[in-house]
């Protein structure tokens, strides 16, 4: 007899989901029984950290990852992290245990009432199978749904007595199934896009996270060079899709309506590839488009295409479309834009380090292929100006703005990319939302480096308080934190840094080792 448990583990194995991130409860133990020797279970001490680690791992590998949570309580703890995964198109297969079927109706303790409704609208698909025999098919469907564009998290609730039931007939067909999307535009549509770009007097390219997610950065570079276009990163970008040292690169667009239109003024054609149009944040009303400009977006997400307030949209395979466009457009006679001058190195002044100085040191000392995971939200613009990010997969940020992403994600990304060094740049306020991931890094020997920018305040909120003219609100300061002590308590080596020399020395020590390392940097508010 093939059990549901056996059938589902066969599906996971054949589909490559053998690394599982989880924080189990009693409902999940039957799924973990006889855990296969060729699988690995990465334990996190809080569900938010678990989903954050899985999010980083899945983004870095580009493949779906299984997350194992506990019923409603565990799912609830993970919802903030799930929001980030939803907005970053991360293919997570989130499973949660359910009370036995015989006690769901009486809502016994640990029953997840209306389980499929709980995680919506932060998942692509959510289900609790109607019978035990439906569980393998539901798991197969969840994996393929999570992976196909636009990728995203899915949710599956399984009563824990289902695992030992007999699987239904035909279950052997599920494990080796493949589901692929062929999404290149027609030759006529590609020719029309190329013609529009060739006829434009001053086109501009805006690239977003989905370009980096499908490793299409090189096509974006070839495309921009051929048409001599300036290139901007889309606002609030959770990934870096274009080398920041390239002559065409212009920087990160602001997350405001008027701010974007102001910077794109003068361009008659705006081509947005792999990003929402646009992900705004602060309210700065104005015209959505500069006068006389036309906007076209190429996206893998029908929801992003449909909700855009302006422009035309093409839903297509990002990598294939960029590759073909870069081949068929005629070279422009326009000169390549001049390289933007890099800011001078910040001087070292007495007292806490300026964030600019921290980034200058990071850029000098860190390997050129370092991966940066950012959650020092008040210094994001400075980071983009001062760090040279040239390789695909070099930058990650919380796509929904939910705090608690960077520290766990750095652990997951480092686990996925052992050949590169991962450096988390994390604010002292942000770090507390995912601090439990330090334990996982220590226990599994994952050598991520965590730079804690300690200024004793929620810097981004301080800035917003000024914008909103509400300077007298409480709860913006976080004094009295000792991150070195916290790190050591979780088993991670740590050093404080209060000068350029001590930061450089600590960073060199961290890079020379093969263990996780935390550096607490006193910075100016």
Q: Which residues contact 131 (CB under 8 A, 6 or more apart)?
A: none
Active site residue 107: no
Residue-level length of the chain:
525
Q: Which of 5, 22, 47, 127 is catalytic?
A: 47
Q: Which residues contact 21 (CB under 8 A, 6 or more apart)?
A: 42, 44, 50, 51, 53, 54, 57, 65, 66, 67, 68, 412
Residue 57, SS3? helix
Identify the helix (H) or strand (E) that includes residue 137: helix 135-147
Q: Which of 5, 9, 46, 70 is catalytic?
A: 70
Q: Which of 168, 198, 281, 332 is catalytic?
A: 281
Which of 88, 94, 212 minimizes the C-alpha distance to 145?
94
CA dihedral angle for residue 406, residue 407, residue 411, residue 416, rounded to 10 degrees: 0
460 and 468 Cβ atoms separated by less than 8 Å: no
Summarize the chain as % helix, strand, coil (round to 5).
Answer: 40, 20, 45
Report how far Cα 276 is from the mean position of its chain's Cα atoms.
14
The neighbouring-strand residues paired with 28 are: none
Q: Which of 26, 117, 131, 330 is catalytic?
A: 26
Active site residue 466: no
Active site residue 47: yes
Q: Which of 28, 128, 356, 520 is catalytic?
A: 28
For the sheet containing 449-454, what is the strand order?
Answer: 395-397, 371-375, 422-427, 449-454, 517-522, 493-497
480: left (phi over 0), alpha (psi -120 to 50) or beta: left
Pairwise CA distance, residues 70 & 78, whole Å: 10
Active site residue 326: no
Q: Which of 22, 25, 152, 434 is catalytic?
A: 25
| HSE-CB for 425 with a 13 A CA cutoff | 28
Active site residue 281: yes
| E-only strand ranges, 256-355 | 269-273, 294-299, 312-315
Tally Cβ neighbours within 10 Å of residue 205: 23
113 and 71 Cβ atoms separated by less than 8 Å: no
Active-site amino acid positions: 25-26, 28, 47, 70, 281, 401
């Amino acid at each position: 007899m093939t059990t549901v448990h056996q059938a589902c583990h066969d599906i996971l194995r054949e589909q490559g989901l053998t690394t599982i991130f989880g924080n189990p409860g009693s409902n999940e133990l039957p799924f973990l029984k006889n855990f296969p020797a060729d699988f690995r279970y990465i334990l996190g001490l809080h569900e938010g950290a678990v989903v954050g680690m899985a999010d980083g791992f899945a983004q870095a590998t580009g493949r779906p990852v299984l997350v194992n949570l506990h019923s409603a309580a565990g799912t609830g703890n993970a919802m903030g992290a799930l929001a980030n995964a939803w907005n970053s198109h991360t293919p997570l297969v989130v499973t949660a245990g359910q009370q036995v079927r015989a006690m769901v109706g009486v809502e016994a303790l640990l029953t997840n009432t209306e389980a499929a409704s709980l995680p919506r609208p932060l998942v692509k698909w959510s289900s609790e199978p109607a019978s035990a025999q439906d569980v393998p098919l539901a798991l197969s469907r969840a994996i393929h749904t999570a992976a196909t564009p636009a990728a995203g998290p899915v949710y599956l609730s399984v009563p824990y007595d289902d695992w030992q039931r007999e699987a239904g007939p035909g279950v052997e067909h599920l494990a080796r199934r493949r589901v692929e999307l062929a999404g290149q535009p027609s030759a006529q549509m590609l020719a029309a896009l190329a013609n529009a770009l060739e006829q434009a007097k001053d086109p501009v390219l805006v690239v977003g996270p989905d370009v980096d997610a499908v490793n299409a950065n090189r096509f974006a570079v070839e495309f921009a060079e051929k048409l001599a276009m300036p290139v901007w990163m889309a606002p609030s970008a959770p990934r870096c899709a274009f080398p920041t040292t390239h002559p065409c690169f212009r920087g990160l667009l602001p997350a405001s309506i008027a701010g974007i239109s102001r910077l794109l003024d003068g361009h008659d054609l705006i081509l947005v590839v792999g990003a929402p149009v646009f992900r705004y944040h602060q309210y700065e009303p104005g015209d959505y488009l500069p006068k006389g400009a036309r906007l076209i977006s190429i996206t893998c997400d029908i929801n992003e295409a449909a909700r855009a307030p302006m422009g035309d949209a093409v839903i297509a395979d990002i990598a294939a479309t960029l590759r073909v466009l870069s081949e068929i457009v005629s070279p422009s006679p326009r000169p390549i834009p001049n390289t933007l001058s890099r800011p001078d190195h910040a001087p070292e002044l007495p007292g806490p380090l300026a964030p600019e100085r921290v980034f200058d040191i990071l850029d000098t000392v860190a390997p050129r292929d370092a991966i940066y995971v950012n959650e020092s939200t008040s210094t994001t613009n400075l980071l983009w100006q001062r760090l040279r990010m040239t390789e695909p997969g070099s930058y990650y940020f919380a796509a929904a703005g939910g705090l608690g992403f960077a520290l766990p994600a750095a652990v997951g990304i480092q686990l996925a990319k052992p050949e590169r060094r991962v450096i988390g740049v994390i604010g002292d306020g942000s770090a507390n939302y995912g601090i439990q991931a330090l334990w996982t890094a220590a226990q599994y020997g994952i050598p991520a480096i965590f730079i804690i920018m300690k200024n004793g305040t929620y810097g981004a909120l301080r800035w917003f308080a000024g914008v909103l003219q509400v300077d007298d609100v409480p709860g913006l300061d976080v004094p009295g934190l000792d991150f070195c002590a916290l790190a050591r308590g979780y088993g991670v080596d740590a050093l404080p840094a209060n000068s350029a020399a001590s930061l450089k020395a600590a960073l060199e020590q961290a890079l020379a080792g093969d263990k996780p390392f935390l550096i607490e940097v006193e910075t100016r508010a």
